[in-house]
């Protein structure tokens, strides 16, 4: 049996191919990448400490390749095939996002690498949403949508063959992996010819834009690819100068000294020419987004984040045309004053996840983990948040449905149905960060010869 290509390498082949394809399809994406690269270079040049911190934590090398994308699929079979495709690239479903909280008829997961080493090689992720026809008011239309979806096949025959092979043999050789990437890319391509009449499109659009976007086309076109910036406020400001109009507000936490979780902004979806059974029309689906990532939060930190955000949204709600955006950002900054803004406090108060490392080995026995950090023998680097945020995601969806309006709806979570569709349970992101923290701390204490402190690891985690 010949040697298999590492899934991390297949992922890099794929994310590069996807980025090249999207740059060709959506020229604004190229403009955005250039802007982000300029801002990142300027930020690093102005902040030698930040550069050092990112370099020491192994974060710098992944920055320039880092992207996330998003797709929307229509059926259980489709999302299951997505799971199979991404597994070949070392990407697994992490987290369950119920977007019905924001009135959107979808629920989602993120396919991403889960091992530390894989994340640092290439953290490429895909936010994947499954539409929920059960939430449509017009159930007759929902059944029509089901029939339309049942007639399409979003994965090529060759890709399905290669999936069977990869699953049977535990991977693909480099030659087969190349072919697999080419075939997989077909699934995510844009099609300017819809599969339905203009009339059916209009009916589905009226039910929900997202439903029309999924049901009326041959496949789940990639709808954005998002680079990671070190200064999202600079990018937000820089967009208009390059002819791009951003959404009204940056989603997520406000600007802070110690970045937490995820901040995101996007530009509105493009109106694109589409043919409906030979009749020309338009459709808006594809857009651009930028993200800034900070430290992952422990349950207590996440509860505090949710609380600060809820208080902000109760005070100010942004209108469909971006009304009250400035008030919103001001209220956000005020409410987040309650959130400690330095890494040491975030660590000591058990609000955020860290990754530990030893500097040197077998040092004299210390009295506590805190003492080892103070003496510089034990290093604590923040763990980057690798996931998404449902309220922010809803804001990104919303702005690309043509509105900046914020809304808060009731819960209608349906994780069991989602996991049945995907034929596996989604990974719990909290457990992944906690494992990295505990294992890195145990390993570092071992190297430092501090076996007597291992029992304290549980207190930290």
Residues forming contacts to Ni ion in the complex (CB under 5 A) are: 70, 226, 289
| 264 contacts ligand OOG (rule: CB under 6 A) | yes
Q: Is 392 in the site for ligand OOG (CB under 6 A)?
A: yes
Pairwise CA distance, residues 72 & 232, whole Å: 26
Is 207 a binder of ligand OOG (CB under 6 A)?
no
Please give the Cα distance from 353 to 337 (Å, whole number).
20
In the list 14, 124, 385, 388, the residue contacting ligand OOG (rule: CB under 6 A) is 388
Residue 393 binding partner per list Ni ion, ligand OOG, none, with a CB distance cut-off of 5 to 8 Å that depends on partner kind: ligand OOG
353 close to 295: Cβ distance less than 8 angstroms: yes
Site of tokens 């993120």: 110
In the range 48-107, which residues lie near ligand OOG by CB under 6 A?
Answer: 70, 72
Span near ligand OOG by CB under 6 A; candidates 14-22, 190-198, 386-394, 427-435: 386-394
Name the minimum Å distance from CB 70 to ligand OOG: 4
- Could you say which residues in the range 400-429 bind ligand OOG, by CB under 6 A? 400
Closest approach, Cβ 227 to ligand OOG, in A, equals 12
Report which residue's Cβ sits closest to ligand OOG: 393
Q: Which does 129 bind (CB under 5 to 8 A by kind): ligand OOG, Ni ion, none?
A: ligand OOG
Phi and psi, residue 129, nearest 5°: -110, 140
- In the bound state with ligand OOG, the residue whose beta carbon lies nearer, of 177 and 210, is 210
Q: Interacting stretch for ligand OOG, rule CB under 6 A, among 131-139, 276-284, 396-404, 422-430? A: 396-404
Stretch that binds ligand OOG, among 14-22, 169-177, 298-306, 395-403 (CB under 6 A): 395-403
Smallest distance from Ni ion to CB 96, Å: 17
Residue of 274, 120, 116, 129 whose CA lies nearest to 197? 274
Q: Does 393 bind ligand OOG (CB under 6 A)?
A: yes
> Which of the stretches 171-179, 359-367, 391-399, 430-438 binds ligand OOG when contact is defined by CB under 6 A?
391-399
Q: Which is nearer to ligand OOG, 75 or 400 (CB)?
A: 400
Q: Which residue is nearest to Ni ion (CB)?
A: 289
Pick 180 or 328: Cβ nearer ligand OOG: 328
Is there binding between residue 14 and ligand OOG (CB under 6 A)?
A: no
Q: Which two tokens stand for residue 158?
A: 């060759």
Which of the listed partners (ligand OOG, Ni ion, none) does 72 bind, with a CB threshold of 5 to 8 Å by partner kind?
Answer: ligand OOG
| Residue 400 Cβ vs ligand OOG, minimum distance, rounded to whole Å | 6
From CA 297, how far away is CA 347, in angstroms rounded? 10
Contact at 8 Å (CB) between 437 and 347?
Answer: no
For residue 85, the minimal CB distance to ligand OOG (Å) is 17
Residue 28 or residue 173: which is nearer to ligand OOG going by CB?
28
Q: How far is the CB of 330 from ligand OOG (least distance, A)?
A: 23
223 is a site residue for ligand OOG (CB under 6 A)? yes
In the block, tokens 């808006």 appear at: 284
Structure tokens at 224: 């954005």
**Count of CB atoms situated within 10 Å of the CB of 270:** 16
Binding residue for ligand OOG, selected from 14, 86, 305, 397, defined by CB under 6 A: 397
CB of 275 to ligand OOG, least distance (A): 23
Q: Give the nearest distance from C-beta 59 to ligand OOG in angstroms.
A: 19
- 404 makes contact, choosing from Ni ion, ligand OOG, none, with CB < 5 to 8 Å by partner type, with none
Residues forming contacts to ligand OOG in the complex (CB under 6 A) are 70, 72, 127, 129, 223, 264, 289, 388, 392-393, 396-397, 400
């Amino acid at each position: 049996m010949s040697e298999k290509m590492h899934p991390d390498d297949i992922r890099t082949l794929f994310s590069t191919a996807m980025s090249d394809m999207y740059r060709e399809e959506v020229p604004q994406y190229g403009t955005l990448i250039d802007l982000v690269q300029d801002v990142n270079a300027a930020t690093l040049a102005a902040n030698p400490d930040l550069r050092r911190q990112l370099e020491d934590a192994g974060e710098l090398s992944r920055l320039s390749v880092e992207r996330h994308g998003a797709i929307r699929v229509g059926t259980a079979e489709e999302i299951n095939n997505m799971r199979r495709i991404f597994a070949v690239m070392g990407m697994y479903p992490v987290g369950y996002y119920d977007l019905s909280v924001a009135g959107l008829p979808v629920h989602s997961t993120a396919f991403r690498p889960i091992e530390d080493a894989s994340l640092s090689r290439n953290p490429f992720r895909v936010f994947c949403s499954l539409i929920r026809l059960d939430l449509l008011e017009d159930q007759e239309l929902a059944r029509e949508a089901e029939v339309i979806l049942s007639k399409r096949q979003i994965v090529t025959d060759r890709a399905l063959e290669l999936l069977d092979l990869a699953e049977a043999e535990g991977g693909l050789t480099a030659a087969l992996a190349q072919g697999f990437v080419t075939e997989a890319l077909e699934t995510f391509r844009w099609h300017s010819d819809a599969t339905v009449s203009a009339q059916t499109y209009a009916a589905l659009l009226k039910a929900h834009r997202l439903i029309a976007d999924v049901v009326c086309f041959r496949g789940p076109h990639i709808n954005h690819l998002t680079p990671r910036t070190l200064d999202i406020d600079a990018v937000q400001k820089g967009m208009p100068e390059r002819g791009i109009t951003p959404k009204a507000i940056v989603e997520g936490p406000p600007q802070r000294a110690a970045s937490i979780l995820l901040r995101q902004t996007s530009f509105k979806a493009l109106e694109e020419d589409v043919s409906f059974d030979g009749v020309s029309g338009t459709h808006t689906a594809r857009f651009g987004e930028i993200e800034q990532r900070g430290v992952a939060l422990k349950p207590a930190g996440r509860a505090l984040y949710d609380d600060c955000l809820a208080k902000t949204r109760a005070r100010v709600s942004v209108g469909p045309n971006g009304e009250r955006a400035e008030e919103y950002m001001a209220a956000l900054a005020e409410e987040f004053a309650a959130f400690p803004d330095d890494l040491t406090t975030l660590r000591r108060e058990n609000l955020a996840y860290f990754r530990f490392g030893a500097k040197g080995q077998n040092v004299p026995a210390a009295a506590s983990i805190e003492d080892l950090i103070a003496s510089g023998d034990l290093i604590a680097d923040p763990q980057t948040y690798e996931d998404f945020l449902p309220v922010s995601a809803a804001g990104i969806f919303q702005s690309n449905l043509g509105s900046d309006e914020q809304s808060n709806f009731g819960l209608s979570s349906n994780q069991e149905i989602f996991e049945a569709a995907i034929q596996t349970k989604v990974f719990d992101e909290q457990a992944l960060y906690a494992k990295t923290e505990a294992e890195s701390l145990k390993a570092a204490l071992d190297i430092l010869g501090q076996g007597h402190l291992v029992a304290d690891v549980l207190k930290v985690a």
